């Protein structure tokens, strides 16, 4: 009987087999998730404002015009009116225009409240948005929700903004607005107090002496 030689078998360690598998190119059709396409980053700038009525009256008369929008879950979220800065506009001009378009109210910029920025993804883009906000004095007009992006508009007492505004960064702006309004009221009271040309209050005349 003629014996055929047995095939030679070389022993390969598990670690070497794993290295050999890693070095092999992946075959077409192999199971695996394709890499996600990188989103294009876009910078956007908007402006808006907090328009206040009752600035010349007592604190309890102060009202702010807010807009309400319905989100994807059907919730009504209250926020400050705002929109994109158009070509040739300043941020202040945009704030006054957007307030008028989204609330029906005309206002005049009194002071800057600050800016907020945030990121979101839409239509295959990653958007970095910056919004400049201003404090505005109510000049006239009637509340209107004619803007297609607005569900409701309302005058809200200044003291209720903390609980009504949906976003924390806008609540902080409203708090700053309240501080500015309080300082403006203090200055008005100081200016209405009689005094000398240097701003000192008039002192009462001593007894027995006529004040001239």
Q: Can you state the percent helix, strand and coil of the chain, rounding each to 5? A: 25, 35, 40
**DSSP-assigned states of every residue in 95-107:** HHHHHHHHHSEEE
Spell out the domains of the chain, with CATH numbers in brackets.
41-191 (3.90.79.10)
Q: In this predicted structure, which of 1-5, 108-112, 162-166 has the lowest mean pLDDT?
A: 1-5
What would the pLDDT profile of 108-153 be if each residue is shown by its tens digit? 999 999 999 989 888 888 989 999 999 999 999 999 999 999 999 9
- Split at pLDDT 50, 70, 90, the class of 190 is confident
Distance of CA 186 to the CA centre of its chain: 28
The mean per-residue pLDDT over the stretch 66-81 comes to 96
Give the pLDDT confidence score for residue 104 in this predicted structure: 97
Q: How far is CA 138 from CA 2, 62, 96, 143, in A?
A: 111, 11, 10, 12
Contact 20, 65 (CB under 8 A): no
What would the pLDDT profile of 10-29 be if each residue is shown by its tens digit? 555 655 665 555 555 555 54
Contact 66, 79 (CB under 8 A): yes
Q: Give percent above pLDDT 70 in the chain.
A: 74
- Asked if the model's pLDDT at residue 61 lies above 90, the reply is yes
The mean per-residue pLDDT over the stretch 37-64 comes to 93
- For all residues of the chain together, what is the average pLDDT? 83
Give the pLDDT confidence score for residue 36 in this predicted structure: 72
């Amino acid at each position: 009987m003629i014996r055929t030689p047995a095939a030679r078998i070389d022993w390969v360690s598990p670690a070497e087999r794993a290295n050999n598998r890693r070095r092999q190119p992946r075959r077409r059709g192999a199971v695996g998730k394709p890499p996600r396409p990188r989103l294009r980053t876009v910078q956007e700038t908007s402006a808006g404002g907090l328009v206040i009525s009752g600035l010349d009256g007592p604190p309890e008369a102060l009202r702010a015009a807010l807009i309400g929008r319905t989100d994807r879950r059907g919730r009504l979220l209250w926020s400050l009116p705002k929109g994109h800065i158009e070509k040739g506009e300043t941020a202040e001009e945009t704030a006054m225009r957007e307030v008028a378009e989204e609330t029906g109210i005309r206002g005049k910029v009194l002071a800057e409240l600050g800016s907020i920025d945030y990121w979101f993804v839409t239509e295959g883009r990653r958007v970095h948005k910056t919004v400049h906000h201003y404090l505005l004095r109510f000049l006239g007009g009637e509340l209107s929700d004619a803007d297609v992006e607005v569900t409701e508009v309302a005058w809200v007492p200044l003291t209720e903004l903390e609980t009504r505004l949906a976003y924390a960064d806008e609540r902080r702006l409203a708090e700053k607005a309240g501080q500015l309004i309080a300082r403006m009221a203090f200055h008005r009271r100081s200016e209405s107090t009689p005094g000398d040309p240097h701003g000192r209050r008039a002192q009462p005349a001593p007894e027995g002496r006529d004040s001239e």
